[in-house]
A and B are shown apart, each in its own frame.
Chain A
Amino acid sequence: MADPVQTGPAMPFWRRVRSGLSGGTLTALLGVAPFVAFAILFLILPTLGLVVQAFVGPDGGFTLQNIVDLSQPQIVSSFSISLRISAASAAIGAVIGLIIALAIIRGKLPESIRSTVMTFSGVASNFAGIPLAFAFLSTLGRLGLVTVILKTVFGIDLYRSGFNLLSFWGLTITYLYFQIPLMVLIIAPAIDGLKKEWGEAAATLGATPYQFWRYIGLPVLWPNLLGTLSLLFANAFGAIATAYALTGSSLNIVPILLYAQIRGDVLQNPGLGAALALGMIVVTALANVIYLVIRARAERWLK
């Protein structure tokens, strides 16, 4: 099967095609075929199908009515709550994750603590969904351990003071349990990439630690921070299982509304359901494109 003909990009396209078909490239294309078929059937077509359906009316013709109908109050409020929860959990998660990563790396904590934190982050960033909801119900629910201790030991009644786990802040605090570790996992290599020489050079030139972070550290980390922020945002925006197990369908966020729509066509319009899906795709795709573009630009600093 070894192909003696050079098939580098320097060759003209037609020669590459001819030499390829005569040699192992055909086998190679067959080898890639399952992947391509999978991608088309189970990733691209289903998503494109929804995008198309968002522009199809009940009569089967092209329409923008479904997009216009997204402006009804229930949908607008669901997008507003979802965007706020995703933004809050991403921003807070990013700041806290950054501080933790800085503590274990720049704060010179022992190596054993660092590896424990990184392993735990790997576990916690994957500990989402239904069990996470149960864990926080056991912690901050009406009968949760922290709720009860605060009440009996410190005399603080969380729920009487307006806190509710099944609310904006409740969900945000819960999401932080996987957002912070994800931030730690992604940002730690970037902080490692801050070369020691930069700090020494800055110190030699008389820079204070504040000046080092203001003019060197943060500007170098900045693209990574922004990129990870958008990744965390998309991560929270698409999450549904935790919220569903915590609140049932009482909290009106976009994925839960979409879930109810798929289950029972609550919007009473299949086209509107597809438009809702399109809205979600646009938001998460934007956030991810920002992440990918920024990450590509950030990587040149970390070589």
Chain B
Amino acid sequence: MTRGKPWAWVVFGLAALYFLLPLIATVDFSLRIRRGTYSLDAYLNVLADPRFQQTFSYSIFIGLTTILVGIFIVLPAAYYVRLRLPQLRPLVEFVTLLPLIIPAIILVFGYIRLYSSSSWLPLLGWQVGGQYIGGPILLTFAYVALGLPYMYRAIDTGLRTIDVQTLTEAATILGANQFAILAQVILPNIVVAVLSGAFLTLAIVIGEFTIASLLNQQVFGVYMQNVGANRAFEPAALAVISFVITWGAMGMIQLLARFAPKTARKE
């Protein structure tokens, strides 16, 4: 049993102070909406606000769509790169790093210029039955881009822990087609890895502001910014809620890691 060196405890204490104070202060502030007493009214105000409910459920919807689209784009690519096209690996890995290199605001600026109603592909003004669906579609793809580095890494790590070659051959001999192999053999085997990529994506996009705001999408992040500009105590309540969500998503990833297959083939 090591007890730790004194200087290390001092560093830890100072760090804990810096990181815990804002959390304590935010919780404290969120409870002070009534003069002289603590109350949960700020939270009740937020939760009862129809705009909170709308924007939050819309964000969840976009987040889940993002995850599904992300899996559809990343899983086949990562699978075939591993199985048949290893020469493409450096290129694919570079592309998955692009969203870390290109700031989100540049990405959305590019979308607005490229897909505006006067361009060759006017995605932004796309309507179906009087509903503008161009905005939600672009928002989803932008979020897929934000999550791409994490989704790709999660899925690729998952594929590394299973024997892709043997599973594919076995499924082929049993008469499965390519789609069945991916959906019914590979995916169930790496579901833990996919889920950890999914939760990370959710944590990133659930409170996102910049892209949604510039695409005029009423998501949770835009709602938070609005509340922040107009109210005093409710923003603190929203910050606490956001922190709990982020913590929950990260906690799920930690929890999932325990269920990851331990019988991995060593490379």
Query: Contact residues of A with B, CB < 8 Å?
Result: 1-3, 7, 9, 24-25, 27-29, 31-32, 34-36, 38-39, 41-47, 49-50, 53, 96, 99-100, 102-104, 106-110, 113, 117, 119-120, 122-124, 126-127, 129-139, 143-146, 176-177, 180, 234, 237-238, 240-241, 244-245, 248, 255, 258-259, 262-263, 273-274, 277, 280-281, 284-285, 288, 292
- With contacts A43-B107, A46-B114, A234-B101 taken as known, whether A31 is within 8 angstroms of B208 at the C-beta atoms is no
Question: In whole Å, how far is B31's beta carbon from the nearest beta carbon of chain A?
Answer: 11
Query: Provided the pairs A32-B88, A129-B221 are in contact, do residues A259 and B207 lie with their beta carbons within 8 angstroms?
Result: no
Interface pair A49/B110, CB less than 8 Å apart: yes
Q: A32-B88, A46-B110 are contacts. A138–B229 as well, Cβ < 8 Å?
A: no
Docked-complex contact B114 and A144, CB < 8 angstroms: no
Bound Cα distance A49, B26 (Å): 42
Q: List B residues 81-119 near A (Cβ within 8 Å).
A: 81, 83-85, 87-88, 92, 95, 97-114
B22 touches A138 (CB 8 A): yes
CB-defined contacts of B254 to chain A, threshold 8 Å: 119
Give 10 nearest A-B pairs by CB, closest first: A107-B8, A46-B110, A238-B103, A35-B77, A145-B25, A138-B29, A131-B242, A134-B239, A31-B76, A103-B11
Q: State in angstroms the CA–CA spacing of A120 and B141 once bound together.
A: 29
Given A32-B85, A146-B25, 12 extra CB contacts under 8 A: A28-B83, A28-B85, A45-B110, A103-B8, A119-B251, A129-B221, A136-B22, A177-B19, A238-B106, A245-B224, A277-B109, A280-B105
**B225 located at the interface, meaning its Cβ lies under 8 Å from any Cβ of chain A in the complex:** yes
Whole-angstrom CA separation of A178 from B204 in the bound complex:
13
Contact A28 B80 (CB under 8 A): yes
Q: Is the CB of A25 within 8 A of B26?
A: no
Q: Are A43 and B102 in contact, with the CB atoms below 8 A?
A: yes
Q: How far is the CA of A262 from the CA of B111 in the complex (A)?
A: 11
Q: How far is the CA of A259 from the CA of B106 in the complex (A)?
A: 9
> Which B residues contact A (CB, under 8 angstroms)?
2-5, 7-9, 11-12, 15, 18-19, 21-26, 28-30, 72-74, 76-77, 79-81, 83-85, 87-88, 92, 95, 97-114, 141-142, 144-145, 168-169, 172, 178, 182, 200, 203-204, 207-210, 214, 221, 224-225, 228-229, 235-236, 238-239, 242-243, 246-247, 250-251, 253-254
Residue in B95, B113, B228, B236 whose beta carbon sits within 8 Å of that of A49 in the complex: B113
Q: How far is the CA of A1 from the CA of B182 in the complex (A)?
A: 13
Pull 28 A–B residue pairs with CB atoms less than 8 Å apart, ordered by A.
Answer: A2-B169, A2-B172, A35-B73, A35-B76, A35-B77, A42-B144, A44-B98, A46-B113, A47-B106, A50-B109, A103-B7, A108-B8, A110-B2, A124-B19, A134-B26, A135-B25, A138-B29, A139-B22, A145-B24, A146-B25, A180-B18, A240-B105, A248-B229, A258-B105, A258-B109, A262-B108, A277-B109, A288-B101
B66 CB, nearest partner CB in chain A, Å: 12
Q: Which residue on chain A has the smallest CB distance to residue B103?
A: A238
When the two chains form the complex, which single residue of B210, B214, B239 contacts A135, counting CB atoms closer than 8 Å? B239
Q: Which residues of B contact A277 (CB under 8 A)?
A: 106, 109-110
* Contact of A31 with B77 in the complex, beta carbons under 8 Å: yes
Given contacts A107-B4, A136-B22, contact A50 B238 (CB under 8 A): no
* Closest residue of A by beta carbon distance from B83: A28
Most buried by A among B77, B97, B108, B221: B77
